[in-house]
Structure 1
């Protein structure tokens, strides 16, 4: 199957957010900050803590969400040349071949550790922090997307 695509900025930013929130350390950090903020709000209601304490936890919550939701995805998008290229990708039972104006790269399926499907992309992971995004809208109709899903499931496995 041949797929030609360019990346859409908003979709890539959303995909990077999904990537960050799949990380256990990020999820634990956000859950912990949320719990502390809720506890601080309850204690503030019962006048066990000062409003300043609640303000600190609320500010911390806002900063974490700002960093994870906006700053990290946008900084990665801006630094990466990959998101500005045009691609031609070929998928078959032997692996993946990716072509750009700069060259060609091929990977056998065993190079991928897992894949993750999100609303706009298939994330093809090499390592826990290294992945390639395959846009779903470039694949075509739902029948072709199902073929890609089956190919990924058969050769990589995933979530």
Structure 2
């Protein structure tokens, strides 16, 4: 059974018929061709598929595309076009917060959502760590990623 959805993806209106059980990650990757959303585990454990839905970081492999009818979705491609991306890129480079890059889209979208959160200045390192722990990285550990996020959130190092 297919269901019609209409949503905004990276600021562009999109309408499609999707299978009722289609995951948002599949809709983004297969239907819209947005391959930056990485799917590794498919079970919501790794967080590499994280996108922003109505301002909140969510795992797209656990979200049905049909649940996003009428909602605003931002993928890593959308963040790359946004005003926050140059700062994210610079902080990741300055703090050596990336290695192989597979998890990077999940971190970029998660941190972009944090940067837009009104309470961002109040986040401690533990809270930053808790939020980014939803994305699994096997290369860097999280110290450098927390440092990059801390810098992006306007916290002193």
Same-fold status (TM-score > 0.5): no
Q: TM-score per shorter chain, which class? A: under 0.3
TM-score normalised according to structure 2 size: 0.26
Q: Going by fraction, where is helix more abundant, 1 or 2?
A: 1
Query: Which of the pair has more CA radius of gyration?
Result: 1
Q: Going by fraction, where is strand more abundant, 1 or 2?
A: 1
TM-score normalised according to structure 1 size: 0.26
